[in-house]
Chains A and B, each alone.
Chain A
C-alpha cells in the first residue's frame, strides 16, 4: 500500500554534514482513535534533515504536518493519538523504542520545538526570565542567579532590546514579535541538534514575519542545527529552506530542493498551491483556488487522496495509491532529492 521509499542520501551542499542525518523519519503512521472511528492522520511519512539543513514541511490544515512533528517530539496526546508504525531515527537511533523518561531527556537539550502562538505558549504567571532560566535550572541544575544571567544572554542573542531591563517582564508585556523571539530563545537555550518550528510566524504580521524568519535562519546556521519548518505559507519558506516536503492527507506528495519546486512542481497539488499565491503581475485576474475541501481522514478517498480535487485525475487515480517515486529529467537523468507521489508526474513536470 504505502511505499517505504527513503530519499536517497546525498552529500548536500550544507556545511559540516555527516552521513547520518540528525533526524530521519521512516514510514511513520499516526492514528487517532475517535468516537467515529480511527483517523489516520499520518500515513507513511518519510523525510530527513541534516545538521545545518532546513526542511520546510508544507501543507494545509489537517494534512498531518503538525502531528508528524508532535510524534517526533513525543508530545502526541496519547491516547487518542498513537504511532502505529514506522521509525523515527535521531542520530541513527530509533527514539520510538526509548522509554518515556529517556525521550523526555532528549527534549530540550537535543531537540526543541517552537510554537505558533507565543503568547499562549508562554506561561502567563511567570516572568520570561524565569521561564528562560528554567531551561538551565531543570536540565543543567544551574542556580537561580546564573540561570537569570543566562536568560539575559539568550534574550540578547535573539535581539530583544534592553534585555537586562526586560528579563523580569511577563509574556503579556511583550509584543507578538518579541514574544516569538523569546520562544525561539527558549528552544535554543540548550543548543539542541534539531529544532521543529510549527508555523512560527503565522501569528505575526508580515514585516515581523520576515525578521523572525531571518533570525531563525541566522541562529540555525550559527549553531548548525537541523531545522524543520512547518508552514502553510509558500512565501515564508522560499528564502530560508533548503528543501521542501509537501504533505497532503497525511502523506508526502512531493519532495524537492526548494528552488526547483517553484520552477517545476511535480505534483498537481503543489502546482495548485503555487498558482494560488497572489501575484502582482496578474492584477485584475481571478486568483486560482484549489477546488473542494481537504479529505475527511475518517473516510479518505480511494486511490490518490487528492483525486477528487485534482484537475487531471484519471481512472487510475481513483483506484491506485500512487507511490512516492524519484522524479527524473525527460532523458532519464536523475534529479537529486526530488520525488513525487503522482501517477502522472512526468506529464506534470515536463508538460
Chain B
C-alpha cells in the first residue's frame, strides 16, 4: 500500500506501467520523500473540480482584497438622474433604483461575503472543535451534557434563530457573524466527536499514554490532527452556506444595513423590478452561485484529499 502510493507518485514523472514493480521491490532508502502534506496536495490538485473551485475562491478573495482598485465607481454614490440604467459602457452591469453602479456594488459585496463567511465559520469551528473534542474524549456525562446542548442549538431553524439574535444585538456585520456561528457549531462538534470516538481507540493513542503523554497532549497532538480532516472539509463547505445565509438575512432586511453594498441587499432591492429589470437580480445571483460553488468544490476536494482511507 505504502509502496503503491509512492510509486504512483513517482509514476507521473517516470516510466509508466513496467517501472513501478521493481521500484517498489527495491530497498527502502533512496525513495523520494513523500510528506503527508505533499500527498494531500497531490490528490487535491489531481481533482479538476477542486482546482476549479479553488480558482473561484481565490478570485473571490482577490476581489474582496482589491475591491477599491477594481471597482470602477464608488458603490455608495447615488446618481438619482441615472437610476435603473440598463448595462452600458459607462455602467457595465447597469445601475439600481438609486442610480448606484451595480458592478461596483457586487465587487464591494464580496468583502461582506468573505468577511461574514470566514469569520462565522471560523468562530463556529472554534466552538465546535472545543466542544466536540471534550465530548468525544471524555465521553459519558460530559458527552451527554455537551451533545444535548448541541441538540438544542441544532433544533433551531438557522434563519429564525439568527433573526432572534440580531434583533437582540442590533443590525450589523458582527451580529450576523455571531448569529451564524451560534447555530453552526453543533455540526462541527458532532463531526469531530464522532471521528474522535474512533481515533480515541487507536493504538497510537494507547501507545502515547503508555509513554507518559498527558491528556491535553494526547488530545492536541494525537487525536485532533487525526480527526480534524472531516472538520476542515466541512468548514470549506459551510463557508458557502454561511454566505448564502448571510445574504438571506440581508434580503429579509435583518442583515447588514441596506445602504451597504451586499449581495442580499442587492437582491432585496431587485425584487420590486422582477421581470422588468432582470439584470438587477441576475448578476448578484451569479456572484452568490459562483462563490458557493467554489467553496463546495474546494470542500469536496479537501474531503477526498484528506480522507486517510483513500491514502
Contacts and interface: CB of A to CB of B under 8 A. Distances in A.
A123 B208 contact: yes
Nearest to B39: A170
Question: Looking at chain B's contact residues, is the secondary structure mostly helix, strand, loop, or mixed?
Answer: helix
B2 A172 contact: yes
Given A161-B29, A166-B29, A170-B36, A121 B212 contact: no
B138 interface: no
B204 interface: yes
A134 interface: yes
B202 interface: yes
A173 B6 CA distance: 9
A73 B35 contact: no
A123 B210 contact: no
Contacts of B211: 107-108, 112-113, 135, 186-187
Interface residues of A, number: 38
Interface string B121-160: 0000000000000000000000000000000000000000
B203 A170 contact: no
A82 interface: no
B204 A108 contact: no
Contacts of B214: 104, 138
Contact of A120 (B36, B202, B311): B202
B16 interface: no
Given A169-B33, A173-B34, A175-B28, A115 B207 contact: yes
Interface string A170-189: 10111100100001001100
Contacts of A123: 204, 208, 221-222, 225-226
| Interface magnitude class on chain B | 20 to 34
B271 interface: no
A119 to B, nearest CB: 9
Interface string A99-139: 00000111111001101010011111110000000110011
Nearest to A120: B203
A196 B49 CA distance: 50
Interface in A253-289: none
Contacts of A178: 28
Contacts, number: 82
A107 B212 contact: yes
Nearest to A174: B28
A170 B31 CA distance: 13
B29 A122 contact: no
A294 B308 CA distance: 37
Contacts of B311: 172
A194 B288 CA distance: 63
B125 to A, nearest CB: 19
Residue among A121, A139, A186 with most chain B CB within 10 A: A121
B2 A173 contact: yes
Contact of A165 (B29, B208, B210): B29
B213 interface: yes
B210 A107 contact: yes
Which 5 residue pairs across A and B have the least CB separation, nearest first? A108-B212, A107-B212, A113-B210, A120-B203, A121-B207
Interface of B: 1-2, 6, 28-29, 31, 33-36, 202-204, 206-214, 217, 221-222, 225-226, 308, 311
28 contacts: A75-B210, A106-B212, A108-B212, A112-B210, A113-B210, A115-B203, A115-B207, A115-B210, A121-B204, A121-B206, A121-B207, A122-B204, A122-B207, A123-B222, A124-B36, A124-B226, A135-B211, A138-B217, A161-B29, A166-B29, A168-B33, A168-B35, A170-B35, A173-B28, A173-B34, A174-B28, A178-B28, A186-B211
Given A105-B212, A107-B209, A124-B226, 4 more contacts: A108-B212, A112-B211, A168-B33, A170-B36
Interface of A: 73, 75, 104-109, 112-113, 115, 117, 120-126, 134-135, 138-139, 161-162, 165-166, 168-170, 172-175, 178, 183, 186-187
